[in-house]
Amino acid sequence: MARMKFLCDSERCIECNGCVTACKNANETEWGIQRRRVVTLDDGEIGKEVSISVACMHCSDAPCMAVCPTDCFYPTEDGLILHNKDACIGCGYCLYACPFGAPQFPKQGAFGARGKMDKCTFCAGGPESDPVIEQQKYGANRLREGKLPLCAEMCSTKALLAGDAAQVADIFRERVVYRGHRNSAWSSVEHEAAESEQLAQNAADLAYDATQSV
């Protein structure tokens, strides 16, 4: 069975925010709801600056699912973690549990009370049978149409990969192998030879991990 995964290749991400805009385009989330964000570390430090695009990683063992008091989360057969907004009470436990900051809460009502949680659905919609209501509540269901999430499809440098974990891992592993050379066309960040080998190994491990399900 396919297991859907995102993988952002930080050597390729150029911090253009195209994925963020694509997400807004596909899902028409309101102002302030950032299902996907681009994080840049060591901004402006030559040789160190690195960017990565983050959204819900659809964890194999999702902490949000473990802490939710109303059990609004459910895994799909594609390995995605989706949630039911009708069950959500806006308690925010998932926000504290998530290591990626994926859950987003609209500010509603008096005293900035949290509304129902919203997060990346891997463009797979949610638990609604009526497509119109599904679109309004959860955003696009591109997976049903046989399409991948719009953020990954629109990524200009193909840094952000989405799809079946095994395929994503193969693409990434191939890149890592070609990057083995110093100053190869792929790499924006320079590393010492030994360090570079270690990083290649880490990346290969990461690609392997992505193919494993629990």
Partner 1 sequence: MLKQLGWWDDLTEAEKVAAEGKDWKTDLSGGIQRVAIKHGCAPFGNGKARTIVWTFPDAIPKHREPLYTTRRDLVEKYPTWDDFESLYRMPTLYKSIQERDTSAEFPIILTSGRLVEYEGGGDETRSNPWLAELQQHMFVEINPFNANTLRIADGDDVWVYGPEGGRVRVKALVTNRVDRDVAFMPFHFGGEFQGEDLRSRYPQGSDPYVLGEAVNTVTTYGYDPVTIMQETKCTVCRIEKAA
Q: Which residues bind partner 1 (CB under 8 A)?
A: 14-17, 20-21, 24-25, 31-32, 43-46, 182-183
Token pair 């659809």 is found at 58
Q: Give the closest residue to 80 by CA, choosing from 60, 101, 103.
A: 60
Nearer to partner 1, 129 or 183 (CB): 183
CB of 31 to partner 1, least distance (A): 6
CB of 43 to partner 1, least distance (A): 6
Nearer to partner 1, 45 or 77 (CB): 45
Q: Residue 164 has which token pair?
A: 């079946």
Q: Residue 132 has which token pair?
A: 């119109």
Nearer to partner 1, 84 or 187 (CB): 187
CB of 42 to partner 1, least distance (A): 8
Token pair 């900035």 is found at 112
Nearer to partner 1, 31 or 111 (CB): 31
Q: Give the closest residue to 7 by CA, choosing from 175, 206, 146.
A: 206
Nearer to partner 1, 20 or 200 (CB): 20
Nearer to partner 1, 44 or 109 (CB): 44
SS3 59: coil
Q: Give the closest residue to 180 by CA, choosing from 155, 207, 198.
A: 198
Is residue 100 classed exposed, middle or buried when 0-12, 13-18 and 19+ CB atoms within 10 A define those classes?
A: middle
37: β partners: 54
Q: Contact at 8 Å (CB) between 6 and 152?
A: yes
CB of 15 to partner 1, least distance (A): 7
CB of 185 to partner 1, least distance (A): 11
31 residue type, one letter: W
CB of 29 to partner 1, least distance (A): 9
Query: Residue 5 belongs to what H/E stretch?
Result: strand 4-8
